[in-house]
């Protein structure tokens, strides 16, 4: 199931690592690479591809310098933090939908953001609060979400 996704990362020259997350996430992106969830986490290859494309969208924006520095964003009041993060999520979502349509000739049945609209703010508030109780940098926090075992 992972071959198409692996080829996508390699063709686009996007560094990636397959990991197990300590949280319910399909992928997390940093300036250095995309962390993509273990293939067993996904229910279909198409869903894994959609998540990979979403994370690649984040990676390309980070590489271009168009994304605000998350070290600073997490210091904002929650409402401002949420506004910035939600905007970036929607941009990555549009990128993944566009690319997915190019690959599969159709849109995915439902995008992840559409599947959880009422829970999005709750998820990000939880992440925001968890970060603020974390002693370390934003990047160290992100790395703490990855199971290194």
| Segment 91-144, tens digit of pLDDT | 999 999 999 999 999 887 766 555 555 567 787 888 889 888 998 888 899 999
pTM, to two decimals: 0.88
Identify whether the C-beta of residue 56 lies closer than 8 Å to the C-beta of residue 34. Answer: yes
Residues 6+ away with beta carbon under 8 Å from 23: 145
| Segment 74-102, tens digit of pLDDT | 999 999 999 999 899 899 999 999 999 99
Identify whether the C-beta of residue 17 lies closer than 8 Å to the C-beta of residue 35. Answer: yes
Q: Where are the alpha helices (DSSP H) in the chain?
A: 3-11, 45-64, 70-73, 78-104, 112-115, 117-133, 138-144
Count of the separate structural domains present in the chain: 1
> How many Å apart are CA 34 and CA 2, to the nearest integer?
15
- Inter-axis angle of helices 45-64 and 78-104, nearest 10: 120
- Containing domain of residue 68, as a range? 3-147
Best CA proximity match to 100, nearest among 53, 33, 148? 53
User: Which pLDDT belongs to residue 148?
Assistant: 75
| Segment 15-68, tens digit of pLDDT | 999 999 988 888 999 999 999 998 888 888 888 999 999 999 999 999 999 988
């Amino acid at each position: 199931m992972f071959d198409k996704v692996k080829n996508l990362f390699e063709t686009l020259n996007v560094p990636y690592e397959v990991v197990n997350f300590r949280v319910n996430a399909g992928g997390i992106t940093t300036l250095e690479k995309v962390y993509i969830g273990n293939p067993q986490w996904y229910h279909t290859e198409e869903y894994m591809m959609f998540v990979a494309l979403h994370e690649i969208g984040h990676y390309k924006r980070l590489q271009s310098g168009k994304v605000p520095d998350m070290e600073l964003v997490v210091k904002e009041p929650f409402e401002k933090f949420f506004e910035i993060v939600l905007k970036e999520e929607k941009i990555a979502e549009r990128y993944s939908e566009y690319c997915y349509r190019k690959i599969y000739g159709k849109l995915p049945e439902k995008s992840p953001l559409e599947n959880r609209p009422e829970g999005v703010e709750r998820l990000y508030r939880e992440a925001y609060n968890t970060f603020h109780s974390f002693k370390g940098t934003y990047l160290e926090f992100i790395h703490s979400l990855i199971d290194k075992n």
